[in-house]
A and B are shown apart, each in its own frame.
Chain A
């Protein structure tokens, strides 16, 4: 008789645990209790780390744990459900690290029969894990060690099931100990931030190749089908989607958009408009590098996604011939505007190099831009500056050759600059000139540097950077709401102030961040993408509210929205209401905070880099703006009060954990004396 240990729909039902030290492979059933509280993906990963990894375990020690997980909706036809979450303690920041990628790897893992993969220990020799349904093997990867992501992926596809093999790999930069290595799925899909690839490489694990032939069942098929149809209709009928810019150009559309709104970080955040933005725009990429035959030039999608935000391109001739791959906005801005480089070929090339070396393109771009600024301001010692100065490669903004060379040097840790560069901007500058230098020239919060959006010009994003659980980052929240001008009524009803849908204002921003942060935690955990809940705002109740404030509202039956609560309920069979969904989101945010408090994160760490608070923007639509310090402190007070965190220390209060049913977490924090008053 088969004993059913787990009876929720949507899930594959078990977690695959691999101990690389002992070679032991275990398949553990998911527990009902854990998925009810944390759903899956990001939420479940945080729980695994909290329960099984004492705070004294170092990120790159053999006892650290690396999780790659999917959610209950991954691979079930719902729109944007090709996500996979990677979590571990970050070697870059020393706190909770996690990164998320859109790919085909996650769904494949579920078809193979596993909701997640938990890796512990360290292999004696370079290895990779091969998963084909029930068969899980740890195989030697000696010939792959040192190879780029591209070669590794192709070799493993050849060795296993061809194009149907999905590969997650880390690159040679991570192998050499660069602190911000990424895990790259299916050649170009990166779980880039916070150094998850470095953790993978530290375990002597080069790759995980997966093929699955199983099937997934949902709890209420008919209802599920209807909800999913509604979700797809929501996106396909969303005005922004229909406008077609994003469809046509992918996320690179943000180059033009950000520049026009005045938040495109330029020359290491000195400015927020780039005079050569047109040269590195999405249109330019499409015209120069996309495959010409297609009406959706180069557009490629993750599993079950109508949005196809990846853009594939190739360079056929010139100094960067042979470059190929998928681009997106962050990488273009990191090597483009942030480094002041206007040649899109060089930007594309540097981006793809970083990808092949398996290093986070955002951090790499920021690192190089920081070096450039230091050098321009005479803060690099003559010896260091001379390292790269020969042959016209002076480290100055706009010098593309120096930029490309620096990517190689950082990846290979060549020379002093290369060695410093591999530490990431915060650690590198602290080493160079102490914390003061790092505070002045880096955009780092909690050790991780800022993505391509200037907080001075967008207050909601700015606030997010300060409180995000993995360091300066927008994806914990992604309040694009403030970038789209919506009817005042919608902003007022949602967040209590019409200012919430303006870039400049502070009003309603804390409420907006709280809402988005909880929703983001949920969507990361169920396995869907940011594009539905932020960017397109197709989730309930926003399409409904928009309709309400339309001059001529459409009949209710024509309004489609993604009802995450219905969606999860129909797939899994759990009873989840709209309110309960947000409660789960709050719980996940709380758990990540709990993990971080164990690593010493306090109120002093929830801050903005000095530049954003002290130096007003010199030009552009947001000229003269900075993030007001007083406003920031009062926003933080308000945020802490709503979250139930101690105002002075930032520690979680007991009552909040009681309210969210997190008894086990409370007990541990209590024991470690980490509860707020």
Chain B
């Protein structure tokens, strides 16, 4: 079970992940060709890394009319088979995260393939804004800790603990 975990609280917006990704896959430097993208929201001082969440019930798989998208049994990554893809754009419009991209030059759709279980973006992330976690229990445990931390903080700030916990939290 492999998954990239995106954490906007840790991301500094340096976008090294984008360029490392595009270089690894295309040998070119271009955020536009990256499978991972960081949305910089300057006015709030926040940077939000986005990419494929490797959904269990993946919208892209469900809508693909030619079954070009499948789950790699080794990594659990959701993969596009370029030989089957007919370029209908259904997966792109169905993905709730904007994680399926279109390469105009090659005329293909592409998405994160977890680099076969050794994601390049993670190697370049200095702060841990994007992490690769193979053990889902770890994710859950981290999530729970994070949620508890938020609740504690908001008690310290005088707000309702339940309200803060309900907002959830990143890892």
Contact = CB atoms under 8 A, between A and B. Distances in A.
Given A291-B45, A295-B10, A308-B14, A111 B30 contact: yes
Contacts of A291: 45-46
B19 A76 contact: yes
Given A291-B45, A303-B15, A215 B40 contact: no
Given A300-B12, A303-B14, A326 B29 contact: no
Closest 7 CB pairs of A and B: A312-B45, A215-B30, A301-B14, A215-B28, A77-B19, A301-B12, A213-B32
Contacts of A306: 14, 16, 126
B47 interface: yes
B126 A236 contact: yes
Interface residues of A, number: 45
Contacts of B14: 301-306, 308
B128 to A, nearest CB: 8
The dominant DSSP class at the B interface is mixed
A293 B9 contact: yes
Given A163-B40, A187-B43, A188-B42, A296 B29 contact: no
Interface in A582-618: none
A324 B30 contact: no
Interface centre among A75, A215, A216, A294 (most CB of B within 10 A): A215
A299 B12 contact: yes
B27 interface: yes
Given A111-B31, A294-B10, A295-B9, 18 more contacts: A104-B15, A163-B39, A163-B40, A187-B42, A213-B32, A213-B104, A215-B33, A216-B28, A217-B28, A232-B124, A236-B126, A293-B9, A301-B13, A303-B14, A306-B14, A308-B127, A313-B45, A324-B43
Nearest to B170: A293
A215 B22 contact: yes
A326 B153 CA distance: 24
B4 interface: no
B39 A214 contact: no
A150 interface: yes
The dominant DSSP class at the A interface is loop
Interface of A: 75-77, 104, 111, 150, 153-154, 163-164, 186-188, 212-218, 221, 225, 232, 236, 291-296, 298-306, 308, 312-314, 324, 326
A77 B16 contact: yes
Contact of A300 (B23, B29, B30, B45): B45
Contact of B30 (A104, A216, A303, A312): A216
Contacts of A221: 23, 27
Given A225-B23, A295-B10, A296-B127, A304 B30 contact: no
A150 B45 CA distance: 13
Contacts of B124: 77, 232
A163 B41 contact: yes
26 contacts: A77-B16, A77-B19, A77-B20, A104-B15, A164-B39, A186-B42, A213-B30, A213-B32, A214-B30, A214-B32, A215-B32, A292-B153, A294-B9, A294-B10, A295-B9, A296-B10, A296-B12, A300-B12, A300-B13, A300-B47, A303-B14, A304-B14, A305-B14, A306-B14, A306-B16, A326-B45
B72 interface: no
